[in-house]
Structure 1
Amino acid sequence: MALYQEPRLLDFTKTPPHLQFNKYVLTGYRPVSTAGECLRSLFYIHNELGNIYTHGIPFLLFLVLLPCSIPWMEVDSTWICVAHYLACLCPTIGSVLYHLFMNHIGGQHVYNTLLSLDMVGVCLVNTLGALPIIYITLLCYPTVRQTALLAYILVSAYGIYCATTAHTNFLRLRAFVWQALFRFSLFLFRVYGTGVGSPESLRLFVIMDTLAALGGLVNVIQIPERFSPGLFDNWGNSHQIMHVMVVCSIIYLHWGTMEDLAWIRGFQCPAE
């Protein structure tokens, strides 16, 4: 027996205009709700439930399990561990808040604020997640390393601005291009230059970025629901697929960073 009466779900044409961002998802929209009603939507099926749980469950697992696998006391620069831990958490918590409260009674203003928070979380996983990569790749070049860290932070700030002011999924995806190119240049420096780092971590980082890019592309193209509108309203639509790929990307980021942190303990830069 239900503890409360579930609300009547809406179809695409009855939902507020700011929530009509995927015309191939036809049903299962929650009505405009208070904060308490949004929270209660965790316990009945609607078309955002999969989006909430595909990032909510990983957030809780990352929150509890990741600290156990990070070598906090074995790394000279503890900030690397802190940055990595926050990087793994940021995109999932921002996403959960966005999808849970997107139909809040506050309307489009609240929606836009939550979307910006979600985008900032995505930018932060790129920013904070890449800082250990930059630090270790340029380990033997302290001056260049400091400049590169500052440059990446500035590039990331520009990405945050672009992502939070964009009006389409394509423009939001494009906002992350400069960060991706910066990381790719670091990967090339490891392969063809004198950058350092674990040989195994480079493969993991490439998989990480590939998964993230494919997830973003799936979300922009809106497949598979584009080919069968209505069939994937609640489960298996493009946004949920992207969420799963983003979580897998974060896992590869973690594995790659752990490889680098293990490698750095036994490495010394060659004498000039």
Structure 2
Amino acid sequence: IPLLCFLFLIPLNFPWSQISVTWLGVVHFLACLSPQLGSVLYHLFMNHEGGEPVYHTLLTLDMCGICMINTLGALPIVYSTLLCYPFTRTVALVVYILLSSYAIYSAITARSSVRRLRSFAWQALFRFSFFLLRWVGVGGGSPTSLQHFLTMDALAVLGGIINIARIPERFRPGLFDYWCNSHQIMHVLVVGSILYLHWGVLDDLLWINSHHCPSD
């Protein structure tokens, strides 16, 4: 359901005519879509009988979806924060893409859930540095978007912790096998995280259209 909602509702309700940097809108749409697509493929074929190679392929697709939203989802944030510093903005975008490439390699080669979660730590720290720039007033961006982005990351981290800690099923084994287990809770929180990303990026893209950088 979230996949279909993001697939159809975002492009249909996106204010394309009010956005001056169209490629950021496209990147944002792909970012919102990618984790849902990877997750659907992963869970749809979980009952396969192909053994470890097939499972590893499905897990790789799932990890790619997560990394894509971490990568593509942050590009509008970086762009907006450094809107008035073109050279620094370009360098930051390239560095973040390279960092994300390493993150996805680490995620798909990780041997445990903890290591997979840790693979995205550098991406999170990189994003947080831009949030800090906004908070101190150095970086640009919509005044309302920072709160959305902080909520986004908080929900994502909380979902990851709950999934790794196996809460609540670790306290009542067997009771949450079908409903309200940690993995399901994580997915609900991730959808909420994507929504906050969408609201924050939308605010930023509209802000870009109306903001004028000071002349040198």
Q: Which amino acid in 2 is paired with 1:155?
A: L
Higher mean C-alpha displacement, 129-138 vs 98-107: 98-107
Among 126, 149, 156, the alignment partner of 1:205 is 149
> 2:78 pairs with 129, 134, 147, which one?
134
Aligned to 1:4: none
Partner of 1:214: 158
Distance 2:64 2:127 in 1: 18
**Offset of residue 69 of structure 1:** 2.5
Whether the 8 Å CA contact 2:80–2:204 is kept in 1: the answer is yes
State the Cα RMSD in Å.
0.9
Cα deviation 1:104-155 (Å, max 9, x = unaligned)? 1211111100001100100000100000000010000000000000000011
The yes-or-no answer on 1:235 pairing with 2:179 is yes
CA distance in 2: counterparts of 1:264 and 1:150, whole angstroms = 20
Aligned partners of 1:261, 1:160: CA distance in 2, in Å?
A: 27
SS, match of residue 179 in structure 2: coil
Number of equivalences: 216
- What SS is found at the alignment partner of 1:134? helix
Give 1:1-272 correspondences, 5 Å limit: 57-272=1-216
Unpaired runs of 5+ residues, structure 1, are 1-56
Deviates more, 1:143-152 or 1:261-270: 261-270
Residue 51 of structure 1 is matched in structure 2 by: none
Contact persistence 2:35–2:66 (CA under 8 A): yes
Q: Which runs of 5+ in 2 are unaligned?
A: none
Q: Deviation of residue 193 (structure 1)?
A: 4.5
Deviations 1:196-230 (A, max 9, x none): 00110000000000000000000010000000000
Question: What's the % identity of the aligned pairs?
Answer: 62
- Counterpart secondary structure, 2:170: coil
Query: For structure 1, which segment, 113-122 or 257-266, has the greater mean C-alpha deviation from structure 2 after superposition?
Result: 257-266
Question: 2:20, 2:207 → 1: CA distance?
Answer: 13
Q: Is the 8 A contact 1:102 1:110 kept in 2?
A: no
Amino acid at match of 2:143: P
* Higher Rg of the two aligned structures: 1
How far apart, in 1, do the equivalents of 2:178 and 2:40 lie?
16
With structure 1 as the length reference, what TM-score do the two structures score? 0.78
Amino acid at match of 2:126: F
| Higher helix proportion (structure 1 or 2) | 2
Moved over 4 A (4+): none
Does the 8 A contact of 1:119 with 1:160 survive in 2?
yes
* Aligned twin of 1:26: none
- 8 Å CA contact retained: 2:145, 2:204: yes
